[in-house]
Structure 1
Amino acid sequence: MSVAAAFYAQAQDVSILRNTVDVYSSTPMVGSSKFNAMAGANGALGGDANSMLTNPAGLGVAISGEVSGTLAIAGNKNKSTWAGSTIDYSKTNTDLGNVGAVITFPLMSETGWKFINIGINYSNQSLDNYVESPGSDNVIKDFTDKSSSLAGHAYNRYGNLSKTSFGVGANYNHNVYLGASLNFFNASIDQYDTAAFKSLADGSMEYFDRQNTPMFERSSGFSATVGVIGKLSPNFRIGGAIETPTFWRIDRDYNFYNDPNYGDATGSESRDLTTPLKATVSAAFVASKNFSLNVDYTLGLTRPKYTVVTGIESELNSFFKDNYKNVSEVRIGAEYRLKQFRVRGGYSYVSNPFDALTVSQVNPDASTSNNSYSNMMLNSRNLASFGIGYDFKAFYIDASYQYITSKYSNPYLRGIETGNPDTDTAYYSPTRIMSSDYFAVSDVKNNRNNFFITLGWKF
């Protein structure tokens, strides 16, 4: 279907659609350096608090207590190309990425139950993402008092997404492991959507904010996960986990413009969002105490859905019903141990969340056309990782690196002045209104370079 037909009601814009999937429907997969080096593949291995990011049954695998903390250095680079020009932007954030702890309780009973373990895990990732796209001297907007050419556009997002999990795991006869966790999410997003125009008369710049932006979201969510791991033989394990939908409460403050009653002011609203139910299946091969290999497959079984209060939520739900694809992820990770030294590596692939979408667009030469894109707003993502570690008896230190790549088509600029605050989507400067029936669409290459350092203690 046409994006132009589905995208726009009040505050229903590219940023909201992208953040619904990229932020609220995803899980912060920032674990320890070991977890990150193996691309998050540990669903049938387990053994530490990071198990709650994939399969809480992994808590039951632990036979000793452990606590660890991880420093994350996240580098994000976007390269946006349009009209034969490219704009690069890079940013690096350093933050606490993960804290995890497991306490083990050996059971001295004569039954087959060997351990009951409890764990807590905190995972945190940066949401900062700045995409600035070039303009074109050929794309001209005639205002009442002057004419200006499109100088560029920027989506700018600041924020963090965190997941805190509390879990319990059990070990039955060192062959079957059961686990469950309660997961609490928090998201903080500051989102900007800004277009720039350059006066043809004197070259001065004028900046326009899209209706209902900037917007500032503070959100909380909840989910629960249950899982099981079983040994088929001393060398082979399989696992499975189900995570309930995440139930989000999104509180948003935003700027609005040209309201018939209030003029330019700020508003607030709240929405309830349910994001997809997820299932994970895993298999692991443990050749010896020196080598292990794990494969995970995660599939979203439902789609994002907003609780309907107004027509805005209905429009959003219609878009996801018609255009959203269940997201799948494959993760592969391995570890090799040589005495106290560890070497790890991994790879993961996340599928494209959207079907092909068609937009009415303005081209760099100012002509217009209808074009279909298979990678609109978001696309599939590839991750490669490796790491090393060293055990000092009770203490250990690990380091890892991840390289993540994605390419997508980035729509911007379309906005319509309707005179109705509920449907207006135009761009506003302090003195002018910019309305456009067409998107401009840039090509964006996103590369992320992430480094992690973990210090841990086993007891």
Structure 2
Amino acid sequence: MKKIGLFILSVLAVSFSNAQDITDALRYSTNQLSGTARYRAMSGAFGALGGDLSAMATNPAGSAVFSTGEIAISLTSYNNDNDASYFGTATNASDSAFDIGQAGAVFVFDNTGNSDWTKFSLGFNYQNVNNFNDNLFVAGIGTTSVDQYFLTYAQGLDIANISAQPGESLTEAYIDIGRAFGFGHQQAFLGYESFILDLDPSGNGIDEYISNASYASGVDQEYSYATSDYNRKFTFNLAAQYKENLYLGLNLNSHVVDYRRSTFISEIGFDRVNDFSVTEIEFANELYTYGTGFSFQAGAIAKVNDDVRLGVSYQSPTWYRLNDELSQAVRVFTVDPVDINDPSLDFEDVVAPNVITLFDDYRLRTPGELTGSFAYIFGKQGLISFDYTRKDFGSAEFKQNTGFNAENTLISNSLKATNNYRLGAEYRIEAFSLRGGYRFEESPYENGSTIGDLTGFSVGAGYSFGGWKLDLAYDQAQQERNQQLFNVGLTDTAFVDNINSNVTLTLTLKL
């Protein structure tokens, strides 16, 4: 089936949207494993180690561990694979991307005076903390149609506020309704004007609605979900070494979000019961989110003795300022009353306002986190490192002039504090290094099933050529989730088993 083309006719500012939800808060509160090949090969367990440009992302004190300055750039191949099951039907979709995952430099300045502050470092680092490239395809015989999405929004609304007025085009009506009433009324408008919905003749003067879609034996559904782009972080780092055993550091982080999501649902196989019956529905949504954010980090590393290192770091919340743009279209076929059993006579109705809805900007505060770290150094032969992080996802919060009380209450009630663990090891054979790692991240949901626990492993190797070195890493993570097709109405879920695997190559030059 053909997807409806959209083009911009107008820009619409909406004073309140209700288009943001718990999944948006979680998306920008979660970071993937990212950084240099050495960092990824050890699953990011660098909180007590330092000496790596990406280690600054865990503990900013780590840059003061460098003995000389370094420059590093990392190229990463991202691969996502989703196995889905929906009412017994199995499907698969995958996606791959290639990007500069990390680039940065650190400069080290020795203090030649008599101060106890023996060394200072200045670092700059770019890191792609979230690659949003992801594809999901779901198919099956569902028990609930997307008609319930529109019906849920429409019930109780005045017919005059969800329909085009005489002489008003669909585009004009969509714009006016959005300006006056917001997102929910626009969704009801799409359902009513496409003839999915009709006034309930038994409503006794109250504006209640019924669906023209009948599906006693279920409806044949295909649903696609595709996301792309990134969440990038730019870090300015300042760190210092105090005497021989203490390292302190501070990061100031600038975040840039670019996120695109396309969803498309197609439904056929409806019952042809009367001259109002819907026989086919297509519903397309295109969302673009962009914005910036700020956060900071503070950390310390203590050298207990020649073998043992301890680290602690605090990651502040990230304060985002975000904007959403949304375009939508509905395509519906209904029976011809002359012969309701002849599909060739079906009427086609398209409600494609050809408008990009620009919502008012809003703010999101993601959770802060606290990390404790331990590392044991086996002389020049190798090391083992462990990080523990505590993060309360339930503290994420939307803010806007008109408020997000319902969304914030849902976040607080549905999400929880998590315990996350990372373990890494490295073994050196002269200039050659072998590395491995394991990580475990608890589900951020109280129920543990909307999104499950994440488990991952990593391996890698590196070779030092003296003034420069090459590192290679492979990391993989697996996580299951039950993904709703829509947040209201059609809330049936598809079980998704996601495997994310990445290959990273890093070139490092000593200064």
Q: What's 2:124 paired with?
A: 120
Paired letter, 1:198 = I
Report the counterpart of residue 215 of structure 1 in structure 2: 287
| Residue pair 2:283, 2:328 contacting (<8 A) in 1 also | no
Question: 1:28: how far off?
Answer: 4.8
- Residue by residue over 1:243-289, the C-alpha shift from the partner in whole angstroms, topping out at 9 and shown as x without a partner, is 1110000011112579xxx9663321211011111111101101111
- Any conservation in 1 of the 2:52–2:63 contact (CA below 8 Å)? yes
SS of the residue 1:353 aligns to = coil
1:47 corresponding residue in structure 2: 51
> How big is each residue's C-alpha offset from its partner over 1:7-50, in whole Å with a ceiling of 9 and x where there is no partner?
xx95446xx4223213x112354111000000011000001321
Q: Is the 8 A contact 1:28 1:163 kept in 2?
A: no
State whether residues 364 and 396 of structure 2, in contact with CA within 8 Å, keep that contact through their aligned partners in structure 1.
yes
For 1:400, the equivalent position in structure 2 comes to 473
Q: Which deviates further from its counterpart, 190-199 or 161-170? A: 190-199
Residue 318 of structure 1 corresponds to: 409
Counterparts of 1:59-458 in structure 2, within 5 Å, are: 59-124=63-128, 125-136=130-141, 143=196, 149-199=219-269, 206-209=281-284, 213-255=285-327, 265-269=355-359, 270-301=361-392, 303-311=395-403, 313-356=404-447, 374-376=448-450, 378-413=451-486, 415=488, 437-458=489-510
Counterparts of 1:78 and 1:175 in 2: how far apart (Å)?
47
User: Greater CA deviation, 86-95 or 142-151?
Assistant: 142-151
Cα pair distance change 1:190/1:108, threshold 3 Å: same
Q: Is contact 2:96-2:133 (8 Å) kept?
A: no
CA separation of 1:230 and 1:413: change in aligned 2, threshold 3 A: closer
The Cα of 1:232 is off from its aligned counterpart by 1.2
Separation (CA, whole Å) in 2 of partners of 1:296 and 1:190: 33
Q: Distance in 2 between matches of 1:379 and 1:110?
A: 54
2:94–2:136 contact (8 Å) kept in structure 1 = no
Give me the whole-angstrom Cα distance separating, in 1, the residues matched to 2:255 and 2:84: 31
Q: Which has the larger radius of gyration?
A: 2
CA distance in 1 between counterparts of 2:463 and 2:280 reads 55
Q: Secondary structure of 1:380's match?
A: strand
Q: Give, in whole Å, the separation in 1 of the partners of 2:17 and 2:224.
A: 20
1:194-248 CA distances to partner (integer Å, 9 max, x unpaired)?
A: 2211255899964213xxx422111111001111010111111101111111000
On the 8 A contact 1:55/1:179 being kept in 2, the answer is yes
CA distance in 2, matches of 1:232, 1:131: 49
Counterparts of 1:106 and 1:283 in 2: how far apart (Å)? 26
* Gap runs ≥5 in structure 1: 1-8, 357-373, 416-436
Give me the whole-angstrom Cα distance separating, in 2, the residues matched to 1:167 and 1:385. 27
Q: TM-score, normalised by structure 2?
A: 0.74
1:32 paired residue number: 36
Rate the CA distance shift 1:91–1:257 in 2: closer, same or farther, 3 A. Answer: closer
Structure ranking higher in helix proportion: 2
Name the CA distance, whole Å, in 2 between partners of 1:160 and 1:389: 27
The structure that is strand-richer by fraction is 1
The answer on whether the counterparts of 2:85 and 2:138 sit within 8 Å (CA) in structure 1 is yes
In structure 2, distance between residues paired with 1:279 and 1:218: 27
